[in-house]
Structures are given as C-alpha cells and as structure tokens.
Amino acid sequence: MVISQRQKEIMEAIGDASIGSWRDWRWQIKHCIRSIDTFQELLGITFSEFQREQFTATINKFPLSITPYYLSLIDSEAYNNDPIFKQSFPGIEETRIMKSEMSDPLHEDQDSPVVGITHRYPDRVLFIVSNICAMYCRHCTRKRRVGDKDSIPNKMQIREGINYIKRTPQIRDVLLSGGDPFLLSTAYLDWILTELGKIKHVEVVRIGTRTPVVLPYRIDTELVTMLKKHQPIWINTHFNHPRELTGSSREAIAKLADGGFPLGNQTVLLSGVNDCPRIMRSLVQKLVANRIRPYYLYQCDLSEGLSHFRTPVGKGIEIMESLIGHTSGFCVPTFVVDAPGGAGKIPVMPNYLISWSTNKVVFRNYEGVISVYKEPDSYEPTFCDRNCDKCEMPLTLDDADERKAIGIEKLLADYDKTISLIPRNNERLARRK
Ligand SMILES: *Cc1c(COP(=O)(O)O)cnc(C)c1O
Ligand code: SF4
C-alpha cells in the first residue's frame, strides 16, 4: 500500500527515513512526537506562548506521545474539532481536577492480590503487563500508571502475577492489558503467553491493544505467527471514531482476523469526539465490515482530569436507542458504566419492558410499537437444590463449575436461603438488639 502525500511530508520533515521507514513500526516508535515544538512544526500550527506553557504543564503530568502515523490523520486546517487531535493532544482542562474525580476510580489497585493483577470477577483477572503505549490517549482511565517510568512492570513482577494465576484455579480467563501489551517485544510476549499456556485452568487469554488504531504496522507477520502458537486468544482493540479505520488500520485488522483471532472493540464515549448517534452508527458498521465485533461502549470514567471528556450517562442510552433494532444485532455493543469503587461494569440500556402481569408481558420495540407476549399457561419449574446427581436434567458433572451463588443470583437460587442483601452499616439493623 502506498502512503499518502501528507505522510510523505511528515516523514521528510522528521528525517532519518528511507523507503519503507513509514511502515516500520520501530521507526514509528522511535519518532513518536513527544514535544509541543515538534508537534507545531509537523502540523504547521503555532500556539501562543501562554498556550505552550499550559500544554507543557499538562504533559508534565501525563506524557505526550503520538506516532507519526496517528499524527498524519489530523486535519491541520481544522484541528480544534478533530477527533484524532482531541484524543492525542493535551488539553489544558486535564489539569483541572474535580472533587468527584479519583486517581483510581475503579479501585484496580485495591482489588489487587499481587502487583499488576486486578481480581474483581470470580473467574477472570486483569493482568497489567506493560505500562507504555505508542500514543497516550488523553482520556486514558489509567493515567495514574500509564506512561509512568516508575511503574513499568519488571520480569519479577510479571512472574509473580503468573504465579498468582497458577495458584488460583478459578481463573479461566486472563486479560492482558496495560499500557499496551503489543509494545512489548514479540519474544517477551511469547514468554508470557507460553507461561500462561502451561496453566491448565486458563482456558482463554485476551489481549487489549490500541496498536491497530495508532500503530497498525506493529501487526506484522512475526507477531501474528507468534500469537498463533498460543490460541485461543481473543483480541480487543480501541477504535473511537470511524476516521480511525484507515487503509493501514484495516490491513492490520485483516491480518489478525485471517490469523484466526476473534476481534472485539471497546469504545469510550467522549464528548466532542464520538457523542453522536450518526458517528457511532458509522463506527460500529465499519468495525463489523472489518470483522470486528463491537464489544463495549464505555461511559467515561471518573479518573482525574477527564471531566471535559465526560457526557451524561443519558447520551450513551440515547446512542443505544439509535443502534438497537436500527442496525445489525452484532453491530451493537453493550453500553457499560464501570462503577466507581470497584463494583465493575454495569450494563445500561433503554427500557424495553413496559409492563407485565402473571399472564402477559408488554414490550415496546425500537419503532415504539407496543406488543404483548403471552406467558405459558403452565410451566413446570425445576426446583434446584444443586443435587445434580438426582436431577433429571442432563449435565455432565465434569463440565459444571462448583461455585456458590453470588449477589442477586443468591436471591434467585433455590439452593440458597438468603432472603435479602443488606448494605454494610445499615442503621435499621444496627438498632436491632
Ligand atoms: C473489564 C474487566 C474485566 C473483564 O470483564 P468482561 O466483562 O469479562 O469483559 C476483568 N477484570 C477487570 C478488573 C475489568 O475491569
Ligand atoms: S491505549 Fe489504553 S492504556 Fe494506552 S493510553 Fe490509550 S487508553 Fe491508556
């Protein structure tokens, strides 16, 4: 694939280039734009002295890094409104920290049995294996650690993480994240995947990476060949705007899809970038056309300095309303709010259930048509006391997990006697003797 005129100009301005350099991911990383001056030069923009001071103060808190490739997607004529610019260039609003914001709103560091692992859900863990990225997203929820030289996970830490997974048999899904795991060397990632592959109870590994968006050339044959040895691997990427699906990006995605990796996408809902039903519909449709299944749409977290990116939750619900029914089911992500305090991802949807009786359920569809579903006249409920040996429903016990009911599931289960879930420090209960 040929590179654009704009990309040629940027490459020439950077210098240190020969034919093919642009598509060499190491060249891209080596020439990441890390200073306001270089940024101005390459885009032909001049900021005022005051602005430059503000930007510099911002990047002292969270570094600036943009790959020449991602920079080349910015429309320098109208950069102020450009979704690529807004995601990658520091905003002075970032230094404004609101009372409601936190450095670790999701309590990832508290739900952490060993450094680098967050074990929040029963059967899966988040494993931070890298803390650098090719491009530092200004909306990054992990600003407290990403890009910070003091929190680069060393090999000993990674080994401890692997040991935790080894000694915790309920973990069947390991989610490698960061930072960006694809910024590790192929050999190092190969080592991590080999170690995880030796653990019997780990059934699947997921990798979260933004390289297909900001450094598509990283997805080379060497990487894909290495990853293929470690199937099953699911890969989740992070496209936020349809403009990011360029030729180079689509090529990278095709390599991964042809390699046999199921692909998902996580989008962050961002004010002024993609908080628009038309932009979002175009994005999800383009993703699907490129064999990526939209997985989550995230409400922007309460991390420090992100208030200018946040939208009301209602904007996300409005976008879901405009997707469900209007486009293919597999274009529709799940909209989630990652709840502060470590409660995890809470799915949020418009309401489709209007009313119900013992006999009938009333729904509405995306068009506003209201219909009724008649419940069965008789239904023989299966009483479950978890005595599966005696049960008439066929279940091979080897395939059944052994865990107890958790949370609301408890209240619904026949085999659990819990009749209510009570918040800690409930005053009414404190009054009881
Ligand atoms: C998002 C997340 C996961 C994975 O959640 P899924 O809903 O299975 O994709 C696991 N652990 C942590 C800490 C997470 O934030
Ligand atoms: S790619 Fe992910 S971890 Fe890296 S800066 Fe962006 S949001 Fe943060």
240-251 pLDDT per residue, tens: 999 999 999 999
Task: Indicate which residues carry an active-site annotation.
Answer: 120-121, 124, 133, 137, 140, 142, 301, 338, 345
Instruction: Give me the pLDDT at residue 396, please.
Output: 75
Residue bearing the CA closest to ligand 1, atom 3: 126
Average pLDDT, the chain: 93
Is the C-beta atom of 311 inside 6 A of ligand 1? no
Please, are residues 11 and 17 in contact by the beta-carbon 8 Å criterion?
Answer: yes
**How far, in Å, are 23, 36, 70, 71, 201 from residue 83 at the CA level?**
23, 18, 11, 11, 42
The HSE-up count of residue 352 (CA atoms within 13 Å, CB side) is: 12
| Ligand 1 contact, 107 CB (< 6 A) | no
What burial letters (b/e) apply to 302-327, b meaning 16+ CB within 10 Å? bbbbbbbbbbeeebbbbbbebbbeee
Q: Does residue 103 carry a pLDDT above 80?
A: yes
Amino acid at 76: S
Instruction: Give the residue, by CA position, lying nearest to ligand 1 atom 14.
Output: 126
pLDDT category at 216 given cuts 50, 70, 90 is very high
The two three-digit tokens of residue 114, written as one number: 């060993």
Q: For residues 346 and 368, give the distance between their C-alpha atoms in angstroms, rounded to a whole number.
A: 25
Take residue 73 and report the two structure tokens written for it.
């997607």
The answer to whether the beta carbons of residues 174 and 234 sit under 8 Å apart is no
Q: State whether the beta carbon of 234 lies less than 6 angstroms from ligand 1.
A: no
* CATH of span 117-347: 3.20.20.70
Q: Which two tokens stand for residue 243?
A: 């403009």
Q: Report whether pLDDT(433) > 80.
A: no
The atom of ligand 2 lying closest to the CA of 179 is: 3
d(C-alpha 363, C-alpha 133), whole Å:
45
Nearest ligand by distance to the CA of 108: 1
pLDDT tier for residue 295 given thresholds of 50, 70 and 90: very high
Ligand 1 lined by 118 (C-beta under 6 Å): yes
pLDDT at 1: 57
Extents of the domains making up the chain = 5-89, 117-347, 350-379
The predicted-structure confidence for 315-367, as pLDDT tens digits, reads as follows 999 999 999 999 999 999 999 999 988 889 999 999 999 999 999 999 999 99
Indicate the pLDDT class of residue 16, thresholds 50, 70 and 90: confident
Q: How far is CA 116 from the centre of its chain?
A: 17
- Whole-number Å distance, alpha carbon 398 to ligand 1 midpoint, is 26
Q: What's residue 112's pLDDT? A: 93
Model confidence band, residue 284 (pLDDT cutoffs 50, 70, 90):
very high
Identify whether the C-beta of residue 44 lies closer than 8 Å to the C-beta of residue 34.
no
Atom of ligand 1 nearest to the CA of 118: 13
Nearest ligand 1 atom to alpha carbon 173: 8
Residue with tokens 């949020």: 348
pLDDT at 150: 65
Q: What percent of the chain has pLDDT over 70?
A: 99
State the distance from the centre of ligand 1 to the C-alpha of 201, rounded, in angstroms.
18
For residue 124 and ligand 1, the question of a CB distance below 6 A is answered with yes
Instruction: Give the nearest ligand 2 atom to 142 CA.
Output: 8
Pocket lining: 142 vs ligand 1, CB cutoff 6 Å: no
Select from 64, 301, 91 the least CA-distant residue to 82.
91
Please write the tens of the pLDDT for every residue from 147-159.
776 677 899 999 9
Cα-trace Rg, the chain: 24
The predicted structure's pLDDT at residue 17: 81
Amino acid at 226: M
